Copies of this chain bind each other. A is one copy, B any other.
Amino acid sequence: MSTSNTTSSLKTALAQACTEIEATIDALLPMVPGDESVLLEAMRYAALGGGKRLRGFLAVEVASLFGADHNAALRVAASVEFLHAYSLVHDDLPSMDDDDLRRGRPSTHRQFDEAIAILAGDALQTRAFEVLVEAETSADATIRAELALALARASGAAGMVGGQVVDIRGEGRSLPLDQVRRLHALKTGALIRYAAEAGAILAGVNDSRRDAIVTYGLRLGTAFQVADDVLDATASAEELGKTAGKDEASGKSTYVSLLGIDGARAEARRLSDEAREALSSFGPQAEALRALADYVVERRS
């Protein structure tokens, strides 16, 4: 199924969604006058700095599959990108990963300063929740509350932030494979799964359709992370737009250190295939999501 045709139409769809999501983010972070303008500058710097928009695309594409309102879907996409951007700003801080480079540019605390970066991350998290519960995101308050609840569960202590702590605590000691899987399921997987599920929540679909999308999101998220470990071990900083070879330098247990490069590549492929299989009950409208499962393991950055 991974013909160059579907790959090329996925790239078109990704590029179009990227453009629309960037425009939505731009509109949702208007500049303000006064001393706090630097905060909005930093939030915009962090949120509009490019990136693949994988999470936003997932939300938009699942929402489209189920016929949800497109403008509402773009707001949900912007929201999950705000949440993702906040996590990157805080991850890059000197007391965390201490990373000077992000998406080929100075990380937010290098471009501004540490205090502004912490506060910009804080305000991006707030904005992620604010956008979800604003009336414009959905006609139905039940759906808005459900979106916010799912985001909180995916990103808080029992999700992304919990995973970040497990990651920090795991540095310098070797973790077994099941703990590495759990770490990534929390740190990266939960938000990717949420992005897919959010499209289904917005559309108000039944449980079996939502469950299929959740399974797809979980497999896709893990495949993405395994592929990320492979890229970290094999690609250059120029290709990645961020520091390469960090994992080995920091002595972290990764899929590559545990399975080897070839083993990790096979694991990513297996997970990608499982993500595709989760979509078997959907028709040709799910083709972009299927192609995305290939894309995340075949990408070069």
Contacts and interface: CB of A to CB of B under 8 A. Distances in A.
Interface of A: 32, 34-36, 38-40, 43, 86, 90, 93, 95-96, 113-116, 118-119, 121-123, 125-127, 129-130, 133-134, 140-142, 144-146, 148-149, 152-153, 155-158, 161-166, 168-170, 186
Contacts of A161: 39, 119, 122-123, 126
Nearest to A164: B119
Nearest to A43: B157
A161 to B, nearest CB: 4
Contacts of A166: 34-36
A29 to B, nearest CB: 8
B162 A133 contact: no
A95 B118 contact: yes
A268 B126 CA distance: 31
How many monomers of this chain does the complex have? Answer: 2
A130 B116 contact: no
Given A39-B162, A90-B122, A95-B115, A127 B149 contact: no
Nearest to A39: B165
B113 A95 contact: yes
Contact of A38 (B130, B155, B169): B169
Nearest to A183: B35
Given A39-B162, A165-B38, A165-B39, A122 B125 contact: yes
